Amino acid sequence: MRSAVQTAKEAQEKFMSYTQEQVDKIVKAVADAAYEQSGRLAQLAVEETGMGVAAHKKIKNEVGSRDVYESIKDLKTVGIIKEDHLNKVVEIAAPFGVVAAIIPTTNPTSTAFFKTLISLKTRNAIVVSPHPYAIKCTQEALKVCDAAAVAAGAPEGLIQCLTLASMEATQQLMSHKDINLIVATGGGALVKAAYSSGKPAYGVGPGNVPVYIERSAKIEKAVKDIVDSKSFDYGTICATEQAIVVDKHVVDLVTRELKKNGAYILSDEEKKIMEGVISPVPGKVNPKVVGKSPQFIANLAGISLPEGTRLIVGMETKVGKDIPFSLEKLSPIFAMYIVDGVKHAKELCLDLLNLGGRGHSLALHTEIDAVAREFAIEMPVSRILVNTMSSIGAVGGTTGLMPSLTLGCGTFGGNITSDNVTAKHLLNIKRMAYGTKEVQLPKHVGTTVESSRDELVSEVMNNVSSSTNSKIDPALVQNLVSEIVKQLTK
């Protein structure tokens, strides 16, 4: 780890002298190479982690390479980047230095592409700490990036990856004196460690995303979007819907469409068994279900699913740490709640967010814009996805949001930003400002202790002379005033 940081630091110091054109050439080369290898690396990720769907991970790799590149390619990141001639303020870009990047097991290659691209675009070096269950595929993704970068003229050593991932190495990496910024994507404990390292850090919280189907929604499209989103890569994107909140007036329609789209609704008895599989320990999701197929999960519970099942749905009424279906499951398992109107839906969504998804995302399907705006204003989330797939929409795939695989949760979720983190977040902006206004400061005439004392003596003598016929010794008055001044100035 120490060697990797040192190598990255030396390379970054050379990278500091690169022009915008040189930087952009390197970034494009890396994005092109990553995009070209998206399919192969997706397969490697599934084989190593046992999570997700290779075809879906390929799409995530493409978003993390091509879409991210397209969103940052025109961003100025070298030298003077903006000049306000009217106010005479000049903005200059400066890199952070060496970025420590923590990569999750759920998105081990796409997140590596994304963080590498935004680091290189801003003339930063990057040291990656892969998840212990995804070391090989993350390393391979970074080898692709590094080879393309060096071939395009980047200093050797700019992209580093730890070869033996461990929590101890990651913690030491985050607190290393030559690390200038941490970008942490992972579990709550890891994000907390990043914020406790004493370094500037972008961390992201969990995403227990509710999706509300309001009575005016186009049910057929809404349910198809939700099922497609939830089954995408077996639910491993943190912005994936976790609970369906359905208006009571459209429950029958929603249920019919769910079944049509491959959802299996558990019986009460099956749901009870599944609860033990989802969360054997109250408040904690079983890692064996994360990113697994419905068939694999059902087999753990001893439940037989119809052929073609894409989702497992359990009807639920409660929310809490001891209610397994209400947790963030990161798998093709849904809780389904029935609500009576918008007010009830907001209350339930808030309960779900407070359980573990504050600040992240919320999805809803409605044809009434006022309802969408009501949720957007009132819910403590950073992204509100309307009439689209939440999992892909939140990362910018089906929306106009900035393409990103690190989604800030704002202070709602204990994060410094509510943005989709991108290259601009890895820049220092220096500002040179010319004087444009004149300020007249009030003049202050100081007086010495001696002159003040003489004035006081003179004033006392005049007052005494005018009020009495007695003669007062000036020396006596002077001594008395001197004593008083001494006491006041101690």
Buried b (16+ CB within 10 A) or exposed e, 370-379: ebbebbeeeb
DSSP letter for each residue of 333-349 = EEEEEEESHHHHHHHHH
Buried b (16+ CB within 10 A) or exposed e, 303-333: bebeeebbbbbbbbeebeeebbbbbbbbbbb
Continuous segment of H or E residues that includes residue 182: strand 181-184
Nearest one of 29, 201, 13, 195 to 101, comparing CA atoms: 201
Q: In what order do the strands lie in the sheet with 311-315?
A: 263-265, 311-315, 333-339, 241-247, 209-213, 359-365, 381-386
Q: Report, as residue numbers or ranges, the catalytic residues.
A: 238
Cα 98 to chain center, whole Å? Answer: 19
Residue 8 structure tokens: 């990255």
Residue with tokens 């695989």: 405
Rg (CA), the chain: 32
Any idea how long the chain is? 490
User: Is 432 in a helix, a strand, or coil?
Assistant: strand
Residue with tokens 């910018």: 396
DSSP letter for each residue of 197-252 = SSS-EEE-----EEEEE-TTS-HHHHHHHHHHHHHGGGG-STTSEEEEEEEGGGHH
Nearest one of 31, 41, 417, 60 to 237, comparing CA atoms: 60
Instruction: Give yes or no for a contact between 9 and 102, defined as CB atoms under 8 angstroms apart.
Output: no
Q: In what order do the strands lie in the sheet with 181-184?
A: 159-161, 125-129, 98-102, 181-184, 201-203
Round to whole Å and give the CA distance between 260 and 242.
19
Round to whole Å and give the CA distance between 179 and 9.
9
